[in-house]
Structure 1
């Protein structure tokens, strides 16, 4: 398949690019600054420069792709629109370019009301206070996707860390995990690359943890 990874210089995005190359896919690594892309272990991707805050910049690199993976991130805890702007730009470019699947990353902290009591208290007192503005924009992103007519998947992740992928990650579709805990970026990247173009994941919220 032809795979485009938006946000390919990030720690998760780099892993997705490398795993997709290892699986034999044709990969385009997209970043605001392609010069920051690392040397990949399993081959050399095509590269393209684009910024989700400039929607038109995504049209050419996403044209003709089969699957688009967005591993966007935000530094700091200030108000941001990177995720919602990204969703608007990506859905338009995916629809124009013909990709059948858009995979993005969200947060397990968005749905605290269905968590176990202890985890809900910790999330509200600590996580929500620290990442309130980021969560607000991630919620806007999910609303943009839900209103679109494309095949999307949001992988809701807990606190991320470095390390090897889990051999048996916990996965839940459309409802929070009982204990989200943490996940390695390698676990998230492995799950994403194993489910590229998987119609069973279309228009679903996938909760994932180690």
Structure 2
């Protein structure tokens, strides 16, 4: 079983690759800068590295990279710099998600490929009409106008919901929504909820990157966990987050 990871050189992506390799998985990482991966990962015999900008790959190359994968994880995001927040590509997450999924569909897999999209607790699940207080609705609307990455995350999740519903033969997805991301050196207790239990704007919790990576690893390793969350948008919080 091979898992393709987009954004593998990022802060969460590196942790996820390490966890997947620890589970005995073969991992294919598409990265622009392989040197950003720790040497211990780059030299791992079950890790294959595709040195490329994902959005620069043509349809044939994209199909070749996804063809034998049973799962795909996107940990892509925008760097918290002026260029990362406001420069191109403004639709990085949405375009990568659509291109990866369309490549899977062209390959006509024998069973649906599991697609995990790392997103944000600030993006509500429109598929179940999550209630949002007026103040937060207004604040998110302003963020959507001022910060292109937020709109990109919303559009990526909405694209999956619109194109891949129950019974689809190509893709089955989970959108994982952590709250404010933090760094930690080990997995700790965390809670997973179908919807946010606090305001991501006015009462945010926090979620360590390693806990996000661990949850995604469990989704791909445990069929029961996958069936529980398939076609849903679970929210992950560190236990006891204040």
How large is the RMSD of aligned CA atoms in angstroms?
A: 2.9
- Is the 8 Å Cα contact of residues 165 and 185 (structure 1) preserved in structure 2? no
2:35 maps to 1:7: no
Q: Choose 34-43 or 54-63, whichever is displaced more.
A: 34-43
Are 1:193 and 2:217 counterparts? yes
Partner of 2:167: none
Q: Choose the corresponding residue for 1:158, options 158, 165, 179.
A: 179
Q: 1:192 to 1:52 in 2, by over 3 A?
A: same
Name the SS for the 1:111 alignment partner.
coil
Deviations 1:156-202 (A, max 9, x none): 121111103453212112x2123650111000000000111623222
Rate the CA distance shift 1:10–1:124 in 2: closer, same or farther, 3 A.
Answer: same
**In structure 2, how many angstroms separate the alpha carbons of the residues matched to 1:130 and 1:40?**
41
User: Is it true that 1:202 corresponds to 2:202 in the alignment?
Assistant: no
Is residue 2:26 matched to residue 1:34? no
Unaligned runs of 5+ in 1: none
Q: Give the counterpart of 1:48 among 50, 60, 63.
A: 50
Unaligned runs of 5+ in 2: 165-170
1:67 to 61, 68, 71: 71
- Superposition deviation, residue 131 in structure 1: 6.6
- Normalising by structure 2, report the TM-score: 0.74
Aligned to 1:93: 103
**TM-score normalized by the length of structure 1:** 0.85
Aligned residues: 207
Q: Choose from 115, 127, 131 the match for 1:114.
A: 131
Alpha-carbon spacing, 1:33–1:166, altered in 2? closer, same or farther (3 Å): closer
1:52 offset after TM fit, Å? 3.3
User: Equivalents in 2 of 1:184, 1:115: separation in Å?
Assistant: 24
